[in-house]
Amino acid sequence: MRRYVAGRLLLMIPTLIGVAILTFVIMRAVPGDIVALKYAGSPVPQSVIDEERHQLGLDKPMWEQFTDWMGEIARFDLGTSLWTGHSVVEEIQIRLPLSIELAIIATLLAVVIAIPLGVVAAVRQDTWADYAIRLFSIGGLAMPSFWIGLLMVLATITFFGWAPPLVFTAITEDPIANLSQMILPALSVGYRYSAVSMRMTRSTVLEVLREDYVRTARAKGVSESLVVMRHALRNALLPVITVISLEFAFLIGGLVVTEQVFNLNGIGKLLVDAVAHRDYTLIQALVLLLAAVFVLINFVVDMVYVVLDPRIRYS
């Protein structure tokens, strides 16, 4: 058991190293120069550009830049943004609370909608309720979330003359302003998210309802709702939790378009801007961070499986 856990932990390292190398290579292979970009469209002599490249360390040979960076990572130093000169940690720190909060609220919304609906759809399979719920959930998967978001913004501003606050205030400071900024993006993200979770819930509950022990419970005379609630749901939830956690991992850095549409100062926007600027240090740090989050969540989910499902322990 301990060997299994240790093994899974160790496996995270080669993945992260792979991500680090891939990011480094990709960004350096792509054309574009941050300094040329800073002075785009202005009469800047080449000497100025060369000087700044030298200051940023961009004229060093490729492998030297890589080893420098690896050394920094080893010391837990994420470096300085090439665009603003502020430390990467500072840049990320400002945006992270918003992204995390949005991810959490979207997840909560999704779970609250998805699980009850999924159960209902499974229990009433092939009835109109099932069809309606399945159509609703496929709608969430089919409609582009940024389109939904835009239409929502248009609707609120046309009919109510209200737009969400533009500046992020922490929930501890001003919960109302904070939530009113989060609610529309959380809904547009949450709709899609709940669709995925709902479909998973439905299919696992369906599967579980066919199992022998459910039949036994029914034969024993246990009421249908108790059968569903106590026996079926508990076992069905495991894969659902997997899907929800994996999707959550994508939410932190994956909400690029949503953040653009709702003008949220989050990690997704930071990442896109960084890539557009060719801000190598920031990109590398962000991608590594996001990969680490993803890998960590995967690991936690694996551990939950191990704890809850004894069959896996001995595989």
Partner 1 sequence: MFNRQIAAFAVALALLLAACTPAPKGGAATQSASGAEQPQPGGTLTFIVNAVPPSFDGHRETTFALLHPVAPFYSTLYKFDPSDLTKVIPDVAAAMPEFSADKLSATIKLRTDVKFHDGTKMTSDDIVATYQKIIFPPTGVLSPRAGAYAAVESISNPAPDSVVFKLKYPSASFATNLASPWNFIYSAAKLKTDIHWYEKNVLGTGPFTYVSYTAGQEWVGKKFPDYFAKDKSGVQLPYLDGYKALIITDANAEVNAIRSKQAAIEFRGFTPQQRDTLSSALGTSLAIQEAPWICVNYVVPNTKKPPFDDVRVRQALTLAIDRYAGSTALQKITIVKDVGGLMRPKGPFAQADADLQKIAGFGTDGAANKAKAKQLLADAGQSNLTFKFLNRNITTPYEPVALFVLDQWKQIGINATHDVKETSAYQADLRAGNFEVALDFNCDFLDEPDLQLAKFWSASGLGKGLNFAYYDDATLDKMIDGQSRETDPAKRKALVADIEKYAMDTKAYQYPVLWWYRIIPYLNTVRGWRIGSNHYTNQDLETVWLAQK
Partner 2 sequence: MTDLANVAVRDSDAVARRRYLESTGPRRFARFWGEFIRRRPLGTAGAALIIVMLLTAALADRIAPYDPTAFNFADLLQGPSLQHLLGTDPFGRDVFTRIVYGSRTALLVGFTASFVGCTLGLVLGVIGAYMGGRVDQLIQRLMDVLLSFPLIVIAIAVVAALGTGEGKIGNVIAAITFPIIPRVARVVRSSALSIVNMPYIEATRAVGSGAVRIMFRHIAPNVFAPYLIMLTAFLGQAILLEASLSFLGLGVFEPTPSWGLMLRGAGMQFLEQAPWLAIAPGVAISLAVFGFNLFGDSLRDALDPRLRTA
Q: Which residues bind partner 2 (CB under 8 A)?
A: 11, 14-15, 18-19, 22-23, 26-27, 29-32, 131, 134-135, 138-139, 141-144, 146-147, 150-151, 154, 158, 196, 199-200, 203-204, 206-207, 239, 243, 253-254, 256-257, 260, 268, 271-272, 275-276, 283, 287, 290-291, 294-295, 298
Chosen from partner 1, partner 2, none, partner binding at 176 (C-beta under 5 to 8 Å by type)? none
Q: Which is nearer to partner 2, 17 or 166 (CB)?
A: 17
CB of 170 to partner 1, least distance (A): 12
Q: Locate 28 and state its tokens.
A: 């350096």
Q: Which residues pair with 80 in a beta bridge?
A: 87
Q: Which is nearer to partner 2, 154 or 176 (CB)?
A: 154
Chosen from partner 1, partner 2, none, partner binding at 134 (C-beta under 5 to 8 Å by type)? partner 2
Residue whose C-alpha is closest to residue 102's, from 259, 229, 288, 246:
259
Binding residues (CB under 8 A) for partner 1: these are: 30-34, 36-46, 48-49, 51-52, 55, 83-86, 90-91, 94-95, 150, 153, 157, 161-163, 165-168, 260-263, 265, 269-270, 273, 276-278
Q: Which is nearer to partner 1, 247 or 279 (CB)?
A: 279
CB of 275 to partner 2, least distance (A): 5
Chosen from partner 2, partner 1, none, partner binding at 171 (C-beta under 5 to 8 Å by type)? none
* Angle value at C-alpha 64, between 61 and 68, nearest 5 degrees: 140
Q: Which is nearer to partner 1, 34 or 208 (CB)?
A: 34
Cα separation of 36 and 30, whole Å?
14
Q: Amino acid identity, residue 156? A: T
CB of 150 to partner 2, least distance (A): 7
CB atoms within 10 A of CB 66: 17
Chosen from partner 1, partner 2, none, partner binding at 221 (C-beta under 5 to 8 Å by type)? none
Place of tokens 């909560």: 108
Place of tokens 């050394």: 71
Encode 226-283 in three state secondary structure.
HHHHHHHHHHHHHHHHHHHHHHHHHHHHHCHHHHHHCCCCCHHHHHHHHHHHCCHHHH
Contacts 24+ apart (CB under 8 A), 10-18: 12/292, 12/295, 12/296, 12/299, 15/291, 15/295, 16/288, 16/291, 16/292, 16/295
Chosen from partner 1, partner 2, none, partner binding at 38 (C-beta under 5 to 8 Å by type)? partner 1
Residues 6+ apart with CB under 8 A from 14: none
CB of 36 to partner 1, least distance (A): 5
CB atoms within 10 A of CB 109: 18
Q: Which is nearer to partner 2, 14 or 221 (CB)?
A: 14
Q: Which is nearer to partner 1, 32 or 71 (CB)?
A: 32
